[in-house]
C-alpha cells in the first residue's frame, strides 16, 4: 500500500449560506491517481480546489475541517500559499497557455522561482516537454507562440508547465473534456505515466475516463462523499446503491 499523501478530515465548505461540501473525510495515496466523479453541482470541483486553496480567491466562503498534505494542515495561518501551489500544480478544463513562445511558457515558472541559468532553464523545458510526450511535436518550433498549438497540444503544454516547477501533486479539473478522442487518449496515457512520479487528483464528468485512468474513485453527490475506494471495485461491485445507479446511468 502506498503512503498517504493527502488527507481531508471532516471538510465542509460553504458558499455564503449554502453548504457545498458536507464533512468529507478521505485519504489519498501518494503516486496514485484519485478520480472524483459525480453529477454537476455535487461538489467535486469545489473539493478539488480546497486541496490547493484555490477557493481562497472566492469571496464569502467558509471552510471547516482540515486538509493535510504530508501531515501538514494547509489551512494553517503559517502556510505560504504561493509555496503551497508550487508543490501542488493544477491543470484546468480549458488549456490556458500564456501568449508567449512554447519555450517561455515552460520556463516562466522556474524563472519566477529564481532560476536564471540559461542551460538549466533549457534542461527543465526539454525534460518537462519530454515528460508530457509533446517534445517531438514541438522541438523544432520552440520560439513559436504556444497559441498556435492544437487544443490537445496546448493542454499537454500546460501539464508540462505545471511539471516545470517540480510539484508533488497535480490537480486536474476536467483536463480532457474539451478535447477530441485522440487528444483525450494522449492525456489519459500521460496521466498513467505521470503517476509514477506524482500524486494525481482528477475531476471528471466522464465516468469511463475515471475508470480508465484512476486507481481510486470518489463518488460525490449533493456535497457528500457517498463512496470512496479502489476504482476496480467501484466500477465492478460498488457498495452503495447510489453509486451503482450513477455509474450505470440509472440516476434520477
Partner 1 sequence: MERHFEQELQKLKSRILKMGNLVADQIHNTMLALQTCDIELAAQVIRNDKIVDKLDVKIDKLCQRIFALQQPVATDLRMIMSSLKMNNDLERMGDHAVGIASRIESISEYPEILKELEMEELIRQTDVIVKDVINILNTWNTTFVRDIFAQASAIEALSQKITDKILEEMSQKREVIVVASALMIILTQMERIAGYSTNMAESVVFIVDGEMIKHAKPGSLFLNPDTEE
Binding residues (CB under 8 A) for partner 1: these are 133, 185-186, 188-190, 192-193, 208, 211-212, 231-232, 235-236
CB of 208 to partner 1, least distance (A): 5
Separation CA 77–CA 81 (nearest Å): 10
CB of 193 to partner 1, least distance (A): 8
Q: Which is nearer to partner 1, 75 or 235 (CB)?
A: 235
Alpha helix locations (H) across 23-115?
A: 44-50, 81-87, 102-112
CB of 150 to partner 1, least distance (A): 16
Q: Which is nearer to partner 1, 101 or 243 (CB)?
A: 243
Concatenated DSSP letters of 26-47: EEEETTSEEEEE-STTSSHHHH
Q: Which is nearer to partner 1, 90 or 191 (CB)?
A: 191
CB of 119 to partner 1, least distance (A): 28
Q: Which is nearer to partner 1, 91 or 234 (CB)?
A: 234
Eight-class DSSP state of 204: -
Separation CA 246–CA 252 (nearest Å): 8
Q: Which is nearer to partner 1, 49 or 195 (CB)?
A: 195
Separation CA 65–CA 159 (nearest Å): 30
Specify the DSSP element, H or E, that contains 199.
strand 199-203
DSSP 3-state helix, strand, coil percentages of the chain (rounded to 5)?
40, 25, 35
CB of 248 to partner 1, least distance (A): 11
Amino acid at each position: 500500500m502506498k503512503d498517504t499523501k493527502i488527507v481531508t478530515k471532516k471538510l465542509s465548505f460553504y458558499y455564503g449560506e449554502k453548504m457545498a461540501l458536507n464533512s468529507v473525510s478521505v485519504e489519498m495515496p501518494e503516486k496514485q491517481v484519485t478520480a472524483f466523479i459525480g453529477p454537476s453541482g455535487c461538489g467535486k470541483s469545489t473539493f478539488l480546489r480546497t486541496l490547493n486553496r484555490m477557493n481562497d480567491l472566492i469571496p464569502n466562503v467558509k471552510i471547516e475541517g482540515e486538509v493535510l498534505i504530508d501531515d501538514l494542515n494547509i489551512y494553517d495561518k503559517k502556510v505560504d500559499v504561493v509555496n503551497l501551489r508550487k508543490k501542488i500544480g493544477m491543470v484546468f478544463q480549458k488549456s490556458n497557455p500564456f501568449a508567449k513562445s512554447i519555450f517561455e511558457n515552460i520556463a516562466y515558472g522556474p524563472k519566477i522561482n529564481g532560476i536564471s541559468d540559461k542551460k538549466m532553464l533549457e534542461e527543465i523545458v526539454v525534460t518537462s516537454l519530454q515528460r508530457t510526450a509533446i517534445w517531438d511535436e514541438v522541438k523544432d518550433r520552440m520560439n513559436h507562440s504556444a497559441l498556435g498549438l492544437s487544443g490537445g497540444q496546448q493542454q499537454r503544454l500546460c501539464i508540462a508547465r505545471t511539471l516545470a516547477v517540480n510539484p508533488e501533486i497535480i490537480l486536474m479539473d476536467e483536463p480532457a473534456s474539451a478535447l477530441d478522442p485522440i487528444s483525450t487518449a494522449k492525456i489519459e496515457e500521460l496521466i498513467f505515466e505521470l503517476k509514477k512520479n506524482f500524486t494525481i487528483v482528477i475531476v471528471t464528468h466522464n465516468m469511463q475516463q475515471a475508470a480508465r485512468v484512476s486507481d481510486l474513485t470518489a463518488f460525490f453527490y449533493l456535497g457528500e462523499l457517498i463512496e470512496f475506494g479502489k476504482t476496480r471495485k467501484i466500477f465492478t461491485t460498488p457498495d452503495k446503491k447510489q453509486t451503482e445507479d450513477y455509474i450505470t446511468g440509472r440516476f434520477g
